[in-house]
Structure 1
Amino acid sequence: MDELTKFAPRPTGAGEMFQLLRDGQPRTRSDLATTTGQSRSTIAARVDLLLASGLVSPAGEATSTGGRPPATFAFNPAARVVLAVDLGATHARLAVTDLAGTVLAEHGEQIAIGSGPHAVLERVVEIGELLLDKAERPARDLVSVGVGLPGPVEHSTGRPINPPIMPGWDDADVPGILSSHLRVPVLVDNDVNLMALGEHTSQWRDVDHLLFVKVATGIGAGVISDGSLRRGAQGAAGDIGHVAVPGVVDLPCRCGNSGCLEAIASGPAIAAALTEAGVPATTSADVVALVRAGDIDAGRAVRDAGRHIGGVLAACVSLLNPSVIVIGGQVAEAGEHLIAGIREVVYRRSLPLATQHLRIVASRTGATAGVLGASAMASEHVLSAAAIDALIT
């Protein structure tokens, strides 16, 4: 027996049984025995282990069919907390949540991602510690951290890989930096993946095939297929912002190529086009403000951007066949102009079978999508069967 095997957690079976309780529905020991086919003594032993961990707690008594009413048990998401971190090009949003994604304390502020990993992540640690205090939770209750970054991330290592808008972040050890301060596991993913996860887990849990599209400083997509987030071989799935758009080859993109969707339809690209047309704008927020103020040129420019995005999404619809496409990000806050342009092209260019039941809708979670997704990723890491068995042993 090697050393790793010698000290590896031994499966207790409690972790697998805990998965039955994660829906929050109270169950009796008899219910669990019926569902699993295991003996009552085995069930009793595993329930006792889960009760001792705090992740399962008594939930009252079931209706009696004669004799003493049996006790019920349910998942206790308040037993531990996670820190959810959503970092964008110019913003940071953080929240302490319980293990069901309920926000206990939150904070948002402007940042410059170009300040580099150490400056930004030191601020993340500061805010995280303040939020734990605000939520009145001791540091020992924190069990994991989830982080979303605005660039490509190798999910297995949590390191950004050549992120176009994150100078100084390439191959930065984000999990190592944060875990050295917070002393818990740190998981990192692309921000759009986490927005897709947050929207799916909180709003569309019954939808197995969903595409989340973020339109802001950059453009990207998160792919939910068969109910799970799909990252691709190196975590680069959904990078639609750097798909070439026919007819705009001369427009340079910050990725180094020309003619990318992001170079023509992102917030800064729309702002640049408006400025050239005599309507001063610099950022996505400027574009949104102009549209909301009723500026005709801005509304037309956003709808045109939607048409370009729709052209790329029409190919995605043929490839992935989602039943819902959710449009989020700051430019989506301009209202129906963007979505109208997207719908116009997707429904025209895609096959009727693929669009027969397809819905293209605005994000329901808005600015909180990334934080909710980071919370879901961090919680899943500590609630898997293997993680529960490790905790108990």
Structure 2
Amino acid sequence: MSRLATPGEVLQLIRSGEAVTRADIGRVTGLSRPAVAHRVADLLQRGLIVEDAEGPSTGGRPPVRLRFATSGGVVPVASLGARRTQIALCDLAGEVLQRTDLDIDVEEGPGVVLPLLMDTWEKLLDGRDDVVGIGLGVPATVEFAAGRVESARVMASWTGVVIPPIIAERFRVPVLVDNDVNVIAMGEHRVVYASELDDLLFVKVSTRIGAGVISGGGILRGALGAAGEIGHIPVRDGGGVLCRCGNLDCVDSVASGTAILRELRAKGRDVMSLADVTALVRAGDAETMAVVRQAGRWLGEVISGAVNLLNPAVVVLGGDVAEMFQPLVSGVREVVYRRSTQLATRSLRIERSRLGPGAGITGCALMVLDHVLSAQAVDAAAR
């Protein structure tokens, strides 16, 4: 660093592991020993870092290692789905301390769902008063800066609702809200891929279809938070299916879990849920596997366009449908590698989610921590 590093910037070095001793900090920042000592003392006093046992010595007295204090607070988070919501408390490293899943119909509206979330957080907190921030992922397009729901895939009654002030009335901390697939993409990238790549496309295939884009290591939200809304891109030869948006043959209307169930019922299959479809796939039912694979091909058609446009290093498929149905993943691969450009697919990987359902709550926690533990926020809190 060419200028004097602030305490907040020193904390980032310690959190990232780039500098774990006072000598490291001096080497990386160019700060004098007294200046390093002053910033470290400030961070120690505020409980943001702790001193670990003595590190390995290269001769002489071993250096004392500095470590970010992950137990210095908690982050309540929730990742809302159409029918099921994951609720958790995370530490300051984004690790889950407690978690509970609830069956919640988000279409009951914010007046029902948000109080239920807050009551659940309070039960998990059990009297703790060290909340540093709250994170929420919702199945809707979100204007991130304001936390306003702009349009919703499955929760129309939420449109126009500004969520943070409602939660902040009870919890006087920063509240961050984003699209559900964005937070899943953040969690998957940071935990699984951040050390090796900066560009990732996460596609969630569940009741509905959506995507989250990691570009240059950060989430790409677009001008109004609508980046990644691939569900309403039409496919060829979709059969004229009317989508809820009013258009025909949107990929959401022909390749989602809802669409697969509808198609199999039309073919006379007695399927009430995706678990029933899974049973037919495992039994080798040829017609069911054909329906699922065709859904994958339609999805691959849309993803191939995104691959040509964004050139991600990896496409990650998550959500109930992608995680349960290998024929769908195979259909996606078949079309993407055939229809995307040779350069875009030269080293492209198409993989299933490794974090699975937990990616959403991890992403929510990391979203909050990136905000409240940023160098600017840490320095502002010291004033």
User: Same fold per TM (> 0.5)?
Assistant: yes
Residue 254 (structure 2) aligned to one of 261, 264, 267: 264
Q: CA deviation at 1:26?
A: 6.7
How far off is 1:25 after superposition? Answer: 6.6
> Which residue in the other structure is 2:136 paired with?
147
- Going from structure 1 to structure 2, the CA distance change for 1:340 and 1:361 (only over 3 Å counts) comes to same
Partners of 1:330 and 1:29 in 2: CA distance: 47
Asked if 1 retains the 8 angstrom alpha-carbon contact of 2:5 and 2:29, the reply is no
Instruction: Please give the alpha-carbon distance, in whole angstroms, between the structure 2 residues aligned to 1:292 and 1:333.
Output: 14
Structure-to-structure mapping, 1:249-328, within 5 angstroms:
250-328=240-318
**Alpha-carbon distance in structure 2 between the residues aligned to 1:99 and 1:293:** 45
Q: Any residues of structure 2 matched to 1:337-348 within 5 Å, and which?
A: 337-348=327-338
Q: More deviation in 92-101 or 275-284? A: 275-284
Query: Structure 1, residues 120-140: CA drift from partner, whole Å, max 9, x if none?
Result: 11111111112223xxxx532
Gaps of 5+ in 2: none
SS at match of 2:170: helix
Give the counterpart letter for 1:156 in structure 2: A
Measured in 1, the distance between the counterparts of 2:371 and 2:218 equals 14
Q: Aligned-pair RMSD on alpha carbons?
A: 1.7
Partner in structure 2 of residue 27 of structure 1: 20
The aligned residue for residue 179 of structure 1 is 168
2:102 is aligned, of 89, 93, 109, to 109
Equivalent pair of 2:277/2:288 in contact (CA under 8 Å): yes
Distance 2:44 2:149 in 1: 39
Q: Look up the equivalent residue of 1:242 and give its one-letter code.
A: H
SS in structure 2 of the partner of residue 369 of structure 1? helix
Provide the secondary structure at the position in 2 that maps to 1:212: strand
Q: How does 1:71-110 map to 2 (within 5 A)?
A: 71-110=64-103
Q: Where in structure 2 are the equivalents of 1:229-248 lying within 5 Å?
A: 229-248=219-238
- Corresponding residue of 1:197: 186
Deviation of the 1:61 alpha carbon: 1.7
Percent identity between matched residues is 47
Distance across 1 between alignment mates of 2:181 and 2:279: 23
Q: CA deviation at 1:89?
A: 0.5
What do residues 37-62 of structure 1 show as CA deviations (whole Å, max 9, x unaligned)? 01111111100110011110001223
Give the whole-Å Cα distance in 1 for the aligned partners of 2:101 and 2:240: 38
Shift of 1:297: 2.3
Look up the equivalent residue of 1:159 and give its one-letter code. R
1:168 match: secondary structure: helix
Give the drift of 1:99: 1.4
SS in 1 for 2:158: coil
Q: Tell me the residue number matched to 2:357.
A: 367
Q: Which moved more, 1:17-26 or 1:319-328?
A: 17-26
- Report the secondary structure of 1:161's partner residue: strand
Give the C-alpha shift of residue 354 in structure 1.
1.1
Partner of 2:44: 51
| TM-score of the aligned structures, taking structure 2 as reference length | 0.95
Aligned residues: 379
Counterpart residue type for residue 137 of structure 2: G
Query: How far apart, CA to CA, are the structure 2 residues paired with 1:276 and 1:66?
Result: 76
